[in-house]
Structure 1
Amino acid sequence: MSQFLKKVVLYLIISALFFALLFTYPLYTYSQQESTDKLFLSAKSAILVEAHTGQILFEKNSNLTCFPASTTKVLTALVAISYEHNLNKIFKVSSKATMIEPGSSSYYLNPGETISFQDLLYAMLLISANDAANVIAENIAGNIPAFVEKMNQYAKSIGAENSHFVNPNGLHSPQHYTTAYDLSLIARQAYQNEILRKIFSTVEYRITTASMHKKPEWQIIYNINKLLRKNSKYYYPYATGIKTGYTAQAKRCLIASAKKDNIELIAVILSSEDAFSDAIKLFNYGFNNFKRVKLFSEHQIVGKVLIDKTNQKWLDGYLKTPVYVLQNVYSPAESDLTYTIDFLKDLKLPIYKDTVIGNVYVYSRGYLISSIPVLSYESYEMQTSKKILQNVKKDLIKGTKLVIEILAVVVLCVFLFTIITIIRFKRKKMKLKLRSTKTIDFTTLQKRKLK
């Protein structure tokens, strides 16, 4: 082979390798410095938040009212596990619980069947079993309406003000709605629960307690979240769960979580044509454009408050632990973070070290994401001269009370003495009268005898 042909072959091999690498690179990538304006999503509504603080990294119509479909089951699980802590507790299946929309997701439980709470949670969250959601609701609250009331109460208690739920499974109803922002609040609460976080991330699970599902093919279930499935084109190596959803009216819905290095994110996608693609785009945007930075360091003094006007004494306030936020590396302004430091009013002396004297409030796009207590850096009591003056005042007050008490006793004694004296005087006077009367009578009698 000539030298020229060798060069041609080598060129072709290098070109082939280049194109092979180019087209086998992960399907979903995101330019690190691309702005959010170019982040095209098929979802009508979406939000990307930091999993622990709720800091908003991206949003698209996040307060738009949408149907949540089976993402509802995240709230169902959260409410259920807050009332029942025994995962091994056996629940009974009623005939009403099995009455679900034909063709909808189900584990095909039978009336009268028994199954553990844990197995029901896995069936509900991995394969989106609507009958499992109903069984959980009935066994926790006695009936489905009572459980739904607890769902709505819980949602309101965590700030999900624009949501209303009418069932525990997410099957369509015009009165069953939420927003991406509200679902992010619910998802963050569920993400903090270790049991639920473990279920969300499980790819394969064996149900063992269902009394009428003893065949092996009935026992193994697989998570339908394609971000977790390695054989799926949507597989995302940083994904950690949470829940899918679909109805004809709601379209594709998804709550997803992912972790890369020291950043944990939650994405909510509603009314989408391709929810998994939308989630991957959001995660790539978050991981590629944000880094974790310290907003405040450990033991950092954040401000001071006047606690003694007379002596013009100011007390430093500090944070005991560091505060971290996510900052947009390429466009810090897009992080849209603000904070305020509010000291408590009318602080009473003495103040001891590490007493809470205020709070730091951190906001993301106007939403409160973190509240951190501000502690006193040192102890402080009034100065000696002032303390002496106060003690003198206290002594004077005590002395005055004592004088009043003594005077009261003296007055009482004088009063009693006066009363006793008067009584004695009257008695003496009476005796004198009696003696005088007897003498006159005796003399008279003597005179009468002489006559």
Structure 2
Amino acid sequence: MTKKLKQLFFGYLKIILLLTFLILNTPVPIYATQENNNLLPDISAKSAILIDAYTGQILYQKNPDLKCFPASTTKLLTALVAISKEKDLNKIFKVSKTAIMIEPGGSSYYLNEGETISFQDALYAMLLISANDAANVIAENVSGSIQEFVKEMNSFAQSIGAKDSHFVNPNGLHNPQHYTTAHDLGLVAREAYKNEILRKIMSTTEYKITTASMHKKPDWQIIYNINKLLRKNSKYYYPYANGMKTGYTAQAKRCLIASAKKDDIDLIAVILASDDAFADAIKLFNYGFNNFKKEELFKQNQIVGKMMVDKTNNKWIEGYIKSSFFILKSQSSNSQKQDITYQVDFLKDIKPPVHKDTVIGNVYIYSSGNLLTSIPVLSYESYIPQPEVSTLINSAKKGFVKGFKFLLYFLIIVVMMTVIFIIATIIRLKRRKVKLRLRSTKTIDFSSFISKKLK
């Protein structure tokens, strides 16, 4: 082989090796291998749930009530509680010595004692890079102390139905008494998904913090979202993903609350105690989007029943649902059972007058026997009772009965008084007759008159 051929050979070999290296090291998005089958997803997580973001309908679940350590997914609840209490995102928070006392090696923005930062920037630091110190700063400034804030976290969780959870800190650092379930985190995630501020923050991939008073260097200000589902340079990039929160501790393993939207379907996946939470989430999303379609359960302004509101006039009023309501209908026979049922319950204390759009009942919707949600039933029309003929007749009847009773009582009294008067009159007449009889039988002595005359 000539020298020139050898150079060409090794040149081509280098090019081939370089191309091979680039191909092997180029991130391959997992979503590209979407399963287009009807099989249930095989995930590594010990506990997981896939739900409709708006209705809470469960599409898939694996040990949803198993108590697990949530790690930094806790911070989603922290953000919810904080925003519910403090409305001013521009409010400046102070950093205390207690707030920055966290375990070495944990996620942090490395705030300093005495530093100040806005509420908004602290939220971004907490939710994008999972800063534990930012979570503590938020808790202290919103509620006065971390302990008081934790009480409000538990109270908030109970109020939304997350009854199998207990939290002892706002950041999710490991504690044996800090636990939750996939079902409960699904409830938390739904509340967060409704909040426009949190949805905007959690979908952000890059953010510049400008208010941290001791973080003025440019490389200290830019933060990047660690949710790999959102990052285009990641092999886990998922084009339909739009946010939520990651988590990891050695005890909790990989945890993730993720959300995704495709066409008109919004899904939330909760992954706990996983070996690869991002891969599990993608499998769940693919399963949901491939196997479920939106179906209208109730149409806009649909009549769902009627109730009696006036027994006297035999008046019924119709109840209706004002807005359309959709469920996700399974397109596969292999999907986990999704029996959707509903029950219409009218209130029992409704009395006229009833105005249009008055709440007169509720529709309770169940998924596989579990309460999914409730929708108010409104009155389709107004009803104000008028003095109709039947009402007048009834009133006349009542008046007649009352008048008759009065007349009867009056006649009885008159008769009794008449009888008493007659008896008294008879007694008086009898006494008079007796007196007259006595007078007529009295003897008169005429002898005295004769003797007076002779003299």
TM-score tier by shorter-chain length is: 0.7 to 0.9
The residue aligned with 1:384 is: 388
Q: Classify 1:184/1:388 alpha carbon distance in 2 versus 1 (closer, same or farther; 3 Å).
A: same
Q: SS at 2:176's partner residue?
A: coil
Give the conservation status (yes or no) of the 8 Å contact 2:70–2:180.
yes
Give the conservation status (yes or no) of the 8 Å contact 1:45–1:271.
yes
Q: SS at 1:96's partner residue?
A: coil
Shift of 1:378: 3.1
Give the conservation status (yes or no) of the 8 Å contact 2:29–2:234.
no
1:152-202 deviation line (CA, Å, top 9, x unaligned): 000001100000000000000000000000001011111111111100000
Pairing 1:345–2:348 present: yes
Q: Classify 1:207/1:226 alpha carbon distance in 2 versus 1 (closer, same or farther; 3 Å).
A: same
Report 1:59-208 matches (<5 A).
59-208=61-210
Shift of 1:391: 4.8
**CA RMSD, Structure 1 to Structure 2 (Å):** 2.5
Instruction: Choose 387-396 or 338-347, whichever is displaced more.
Output: 387-396
TM-score of the aligned structures, taking structure 2 as reference length = 0.78
Give the conservation status (yes or no) of the 8 Å contact 1:326–1:335.
no
Amino acid at match of 1:218: W
CA distance in 1, matches of 2:398, 2:271: 67
Say how many residue pairs are matched: 378
CA distance in 2, matches of 1:155, 1:305: 36
Q: SS at 2:199's partner residue?
A: helix
Q: Classify 1:25/1:100 alpha carbon distance in 2 versus 1 (closer, same or farther; 3 Å).
A: closer
| Identical aligned residues as a percent | 69
CA distance in 1, matches of 2:386, 2:346: 20
Q: SS at 2:351's partner residue?
A: coil
Unaligned runs of 5+ in 2: 1-22, 405-455
Instruction: Choose 332-341 or 295-304, whichever is displaced more.
Output: 332-341
Instruction: Choose 117-126 or 387-396, whichever is displaced more.
Output: 387-396
Q: Classify 1:142/1:353 alpha carbon distance in 2 versus 1 (closer, same or farther; 3 Å).
A: closer
Equivalent position to 1:293, from 292, 295, 302: 295
Amino acid at match of 1:92: K
Shift of 1:346: 3.9
CA distance in 2, matches of 1:35, 1:399: 81
Give the conservation status (yes or no) of the 8 Å contact 2:28–2:235.
no
Q: SS at 2:372's partner residue?
A: strand
CA distance in 2, matches of 1:120, 1:329: 43
Give the conservation status (yes or no) of the 8 Å contact 2:30–2:237.
no
The residue aligned with 1:421 is: none
Amino acid at match of 1:354: D
Shift of 1:354: 2.8
Pairing 1:354–2:327 present: no
Amino acid at match of 1:45: S
Instruction: Choose 366-375 or 44-53, whichever is displaced more.
Output: 366-375
TM-score of the aligned structures, taking structure 1 as reference length = 0.79
The residue aligned with 2:39 is: 35
Report 1:357-372 matches (<5 A).
357-372=360-375
Shift of 1:142: 1.0
Shift of 1:365: 2.9
Unaligned runs of 5+ in 1: 1-19, 401-451
1:26-66 deviation line (CA, Å, top 9, x unaligned): 53444444132xx1110000001111111111110011000
The residue aligned with 1:322 is: 324
Q: Classify 1:95/1:390 alpha carbon distance in 2 versus 1 (closer, same or farther; 3 Å).
A: farther
Amino acid at match of 1:336: D
Report 1:9-20 matches (<5 A).
none
The residue aligned with 1:334 is: 337
Q: Classify 1:268/1:382 alpha carbon distance in 2 versus 1 (closer, same or farther; 3 Å).
A: same
1:297-355 deviation line (CA, Å, top 9, x unaligned): 11211122234445654432221211111111234883321111111114313434333
Instruction: Choose 372-381 or 136-145, whichever is displaced more.
Output: 372-381
Pairing 1:209–2:211 present: yes
Give the conservation status (yes or no) of the 8 Å contact 2:308–2:317.
yes
CA distance in 1, matches of 2:262, 2:63: 26
Give the conservation status (yes or no) of the 8 Å contact 1:226–1:234.
yes
